[in-house]
Amino acid sequence: MPIEHHPLPEHLAEYAAGVGEIGVDLVVACHATLCPTCRAEIEAMEQLGGAMAERGANEHRAGPPGSVEAATSSFDMDALVGKTLRAVDRLPVQVPVQAGGPGGGVLGPVFPAPLRAYLPAPSDIAWRRVLPGAARFDLEVPGHRGPPMHLKKLQPGLRIPQHGHRGQEFDLVLQGGIKDHTRARVFDRGDLSYADASTEHALSILPGEECITFSVAEASVEASHWLARMLYRKAGW
Amino acid sequence: MPKTSLESGWPPALAFQQFRRRGTLEHRVTSPTDRELLMAIARQDRAAFEALCRRFGHRLFGFLVCRAPNQEAEELVQEVMLTVWTRAASYNPALAAPSTWIFTIARNKAIDRARKRMRPQVDPHDPSLVPSPAVPNPDQHVVMMEWGHHIDAAMRELPEPQRVVVNAAYAEDRSMREIAEQQGVPVGTVKSRMRLAMKSLRLYFQRQGGPDAH
Ligand SMILES: [Zn+2]
C-alpha cells in the first residue's frame, strides 16, 4: 500500500538544507528510504542548496580581490588532480548490503539503513517492558542533545487511551500498524504520525503483527484521564 | 573528426545532435560539455574525469575554503571529485545541471564536516529501500526541476521574510532555531515561512513547466 502520511515540507526542507537535528533527520532519512515521493522531493530541495552554493562560488570569482582569492591562488591544481586520480585507483569495489547481513537477521529489513547505523544487532536490542503489551528501547547517540529517540514495540490490539502532547512527537511506523481513532487515520509501514501540542488522540494497534515504531519526542505525553496519566508516568512516556 | 577518448562510446545520432547544437567543430572537439564529461566518467573514463577536475577544482575550492581551512578545503575538493567519480552513473540530467549536481555534493560534504558527523542518509544499496517507480508520476515530475537556471528569478518572487529564511538555511547553513533568534521571531514562524517558501518555489517551477521547458 502506498505511504499516505509524510513528513511536513519544513521537515524535509530542514533535512535537505542540512540544518536539522539528528532525531528528525533520522526520521526523514528512514521515511525517505521507504517513500520514493519524499526521496525525490528531498533531492530537488538539495539541488536548491547546490544551486545557491554554485551561485555563491561564481560570485566570489567575479568579485573584488579578497581573502578567498588569496586562498585560491595558492591552490595547486596539478597536485589535486594527481592525488584524486591516485585515490580513484585505490577505491574499493562496491559491495551491496545483503538482507540479513550484519545488523540484519530476520528484522534486518525492518530497520532502514540510516537507523541500523545507530542500533545493535536486532537480537541484542534490550527492549524494556514499560506497560503490559508495550516495550521500549532508548537510542544512545554520543553528544546528542536534541529530543530523545527511542523504538517502541506494541502488541497487536493494544489500546492507547486519549492523550495530548507537550511538544512535537514523530512516530515512524516500521512494522505493523496503528489506528488513530480521533483523526480517523491508519498508519502502516513507512507512514509518519506527527503530533504536537495541538494534537489529542486515542490510538490502537492493528491486529496481526507487533507494531514497531521509531519515535522522537520532545516531551512526554499528557494523558487525558487520570488513570491513564498515572500509567503513562509510570511507563515514562 | 579526430577521435578523443570521450567520443569512443557515443551513439552516432547523439554525437551528431551535440555537434549540431554546439555549432563549430573546434568547439565540439576541444571542449566537451560538463554533461558529456559526466557521461564519460560514468563509463569510468579517466581523461574525462581529469578534465572535469580541472574545470571545477578552483570553483569548488573557492566555495569550500569559506567553510574550512586551506588544507581541509583541498581534501574536501578531492572527496567531492571522488564522489563524482563513484556516482556519475546516477547523475540525472532531468533533475539538475551538472554544475548544480556537483555543487550539491560539495555542499553536503561541507555540512557533514561542520556537523562533525555524517548526516543520516538514504543508502541506495539498502535492502529496505522502496525503489522509485520506473515512470515518475506527474506530481513527482513537477519537483524534478532545474534550480540552476531559475534560482534568482524564483527567489525574487518570494516575499522578503520567506526569502530571508530560505537564504539563511540554504546559503548560510543556519538551523531554524538560529534563524528564529537572528530574526527575533518564534521558531514556529520560521517553519511556516519555510513551508510557504517551499510551496511557492514548487509552484514557480510548475509554471515554468519543469526542466523540459527551456
Ligand atoms: Zn513521504
* Domains in chain B: boundaries: 5-115, 147-213
Q: Give the separation between CA B17 and CA A139, rounded to whole angstroms.
A: 55
From the CA of A33, how far away is ligand 1's center (Å)?
9
Region A216-232 average pLDDT: 70
- Regarding the domain delimited by B147-213, which CATH topology (the fold level of the hierarchy) does it fall under? Arc Repressor Mutant, subunit A (1.10.10)
Q: Give the separation between CA A114 and CA A214, rounded to whole angstroms.
A: 12
Q: Which residue matches cell numbers 566570489?
A: A60
Q: Give the separation between CA B59 and CA B107, rounded to whole angstroms.
A: 13
Q: Give the separation between CA B183 and CA A163, rounded to whole angstroms.
A: 34
> How confident is the model at residue A142, as a pLDDT?
79
Nearest to A71 among B65, B123, B199 (CB): B65
Nearest to A91 among B62, B86, B99 (CB): B86
A125 vs A94 pLDDT, higher one: A125
* Chain A CB within 8 Å of residue B138 CB: no
User: Chain B contacts of A117, Cβ < 8 Å?
Assistant: 120
Region A191-212 average pLDDT: 93
pLDDT one-digit tens code per residue, B44-78? 999 999 999 999 999 999 899 888 888 899 999 99
> How confident is the model at residue A84, as a pLDDT?
93
| Inter-chain residue contact B129 with A112, CB threshold 8 Å | yes
Region B23-45 average pLDDT: 77
Q: Which residue of B has its CA nearest to A50?
A: B104
Of A80-94, A181-195, B154-168, B180-194, give the lowest mean pLDDT range.
A80-94
A152 vs A53 pLDDT, higher one: A152
Q: Is the pLDDT of residue A169 over 70?
A: yes
> How confident is the model at residue A127, as a pLDDT?
96
Q: Which residue of B has its CA nearest to A68?
A: B62
Q: Is the pLDDT of residue B214 over 70?
A: no
3-state helix, strand, coil in chain B (%, to 5): 65, 0, 35
Strand order in the sheet with A211-217: A128-131, A134-138, A149-154, A211-217, A169-175, A192-195
> What backbone torsions phi and psi does residue B16 show, to the nearest 5 degrees?
-65, -45
Q: Give the separation between CA B203 and CA B96, rounded to whole angstroms.
A: 17
Chain A (94-123) residues lying within 8 Å, Cβ to Cβ, of chain B = 94, 96-99, 104, 108-115, 117
> How confident is the model at residue B211, as a pLDDT?
43
| Inter-chain residue contact B143 with A40, CB threshold 8 Å | yes
| Inter-chain residue contact B106 with A8, CB threshold 8 Å | no
> How confident is the model at residue A98, as a pLDDT?
43
Choose the mutation target among B107, B112, B135 for the interface with A, i.e. most A CBs under 10 Å: B107
Return the C-alpha cell found at A55.
551561485
Q: Name the region of B206 (left: φ>0; alpha: ψ -120 to 50; beta: rest).
A: alpha
B176 vs A135 pLDDT, higher one: A135
> How confident is the model at residue A222, as a pLDDT?
64
Q: Give the separation between CA A182 and CA A204, rounded to whole angstroms.
A: 11
Global confidence as pTM: 0.78
Return the C-alpha cell found at A120.
545493535
> How confident is the model at residue B153, as a pLDDT?
82
Nearest to B122 among A19, A74, A114 (CB): A114
Q: Give the separation between CA A181 and CA A162, rounded to whole angstroms.
A: 9
Residues composing chain A = 237
pLDDT one-digit tens code per residue, B84-121? 999 898 888 877 889 999 999 999 898 888 777 778 98
Closest to A1 in 3D by CA, of A194, A203, A156, A173: A173
Confidence of residue A175 (pLDDT cuts 50, 70, 90): very high
Distance in Å, alpha carbon of A227 to nearest chain B alpha carbon: 33
> How confident is the model at residue A223, as a pLDDT?
62
Burial of A152 (0-12, 13-18, 19+ CB in 10 A): buried
Of A167-171, A192-196, B194-198, give the lowest mean pLDDT range.
B194-198
Chain A (162-191) residues lying within 8 Å, Cβ to Cβ, of chain B = 190
Distance in Å, alpha carbon of A131 to nearest chain B alpha carbon: 30
| Inter-chain residue contact A48 with B201, CB threshold 8 Å | yes
Q: Name the region of A42 (left: φ>0; alpha: ψ -120 to 50; beta: rest).
A: alpha
> How confident is the model at residue A66, as a pLDDT?
59
> How confident is the model at residue B143, as a pLDDT?
43
Confidence of residue B135 (pLDDT cuts 50, 70, 90): low
Q: Which residue of A has its CA nearest to B197?
A: A10
**What CA–CA distances, in Å, run from B65 to A48, A66, B58?**
20, 12, 10
A171 vs A104 pLDDT, higher one: A171
Distance in Å, alpha carbon of B98 to nearest chain A alpha carbon: 10
* Chain B CB within 8 Å of residue A29 CB: yes
- DSSP tag of B24: -
* Chain A CB within 8 Å of residue B80 CB: no
Burial of B80 (0-12, 13-18, 19+ CB in 10 A): buried
Q: Give the separation between CA B11 and CA B58, rounded to whole angstroms.
A: 32
Q: Is the pLDDT of residue A193 over 90?
A: yes
Q: Give the separation between CA B105 and CA B98, rounded to whole angstroms.
A: 11
Residue B162 CB contacts under 8 Å (≥ 6 apart), including other chains: B193, B194, B196, B197, B200
> How confident is the model at residue A113, as a pLDDT?
94
* Chain A CB within 8 Å of residue B17 CB: no
| Inter-chain residue contact A53 with B106, CB threshold 8 Å | yes
* Chain A CB within 8 Å of residue B187 CB: no
Nearest to A113 among B123, B136, B178 (CB): B123
Give chain B's mean pLDDT: 78
A226 vs A203 pLDDT, higher one: A203
Confidence of residue B158 (pLDDT cuts 50, 70, 90): very high
How large is the angle between the packed helices A22-34 and A9-17, nearest 10 degrees?
A: 110
Q: Give the separation between CA B7 and CA B43, rounded to whole angstroms.
A: 12
Q: What is the ipTM of this complex?
A: 0.80
Q: Is the pLDDT of residue A69 over 70?
A: no
Of A188-197, B14-23, B168-177, give the lowest mean pLDDT range.
B14-23
3-state SS track over chain A:
CCCCCCCCHHHHHHHHHCCCCHHHHHHHHHHHHHCHHHHHHHHHHHHHHHHHHHHHHHHHHHCCCCHHHHHHHCCCHHHHHHHHHHHHHHCCCCCCCCCCCCCCCCCHHHCCHHHHCCCCCHHHCCCEEEECCEEEEECCCCCCCCCCEEEEEECCCCEEEEEEECCCEEEEEEECCEEECCCCEEECCCCEEEECCCCCEEEEECCCCCEEEEEEECCCEEECCHHHHHHHHHHCC
Of A65-79, A193-207, B54-68, give the lowest mean pLDDT range.
A65-79
Q: How many CB pairs under 8 A join A and B?
A: 235
Give chain A's mean pLDDT: 83
From the CA of A177, how far away is ligand 1's center (Å)?
16
For the domain with range B5-115, which CATH number is right: 2.40.30.110, 3.40.50.970, 1.10.1740.10, 3.40.30.10? 1.10.1740.10
Confidence of residue A218 (pLDDT cuts 50, 70, 90): confident
* Chain A CB within 8 Å of residue B71 CB: no
| Inter-chain residue contact B115 with A18, CB threshold 8 Å | yes
> How confident is the model at residue A186, as a pLDDT?
96
Residue B204 CB contacts under 8 Å (≥ 6 apart), including other chains: B150, B153, B154, B157
Confidence of residue A10 (pLDDT cuts 50, 70, 90): confident
Return the C-alpha cell found at B69.
581551512
Residue B52 CB contacts under 8 Å (≥ 6 apart), including other chains: B34, B37, B38, B41, B81, B84
Region A176-188 average pLDDT: 94
User: Chain B contacts of A60, Cβ < 8 Å?
Assistant: 62-63, 66
> How confident is the model at residue A62, as a pLDDT?
52
Region B152-176 average pLDDT: 87
Distance in Å, alpha carbon of B16 to nearest chain A alpha carbon: 30
Calculated CA dihedral for residues A9, A12, A18, A23, nearest 10 degrees: 120
Closest to A172 in 3D by CA, of A196, A195, A189: A189
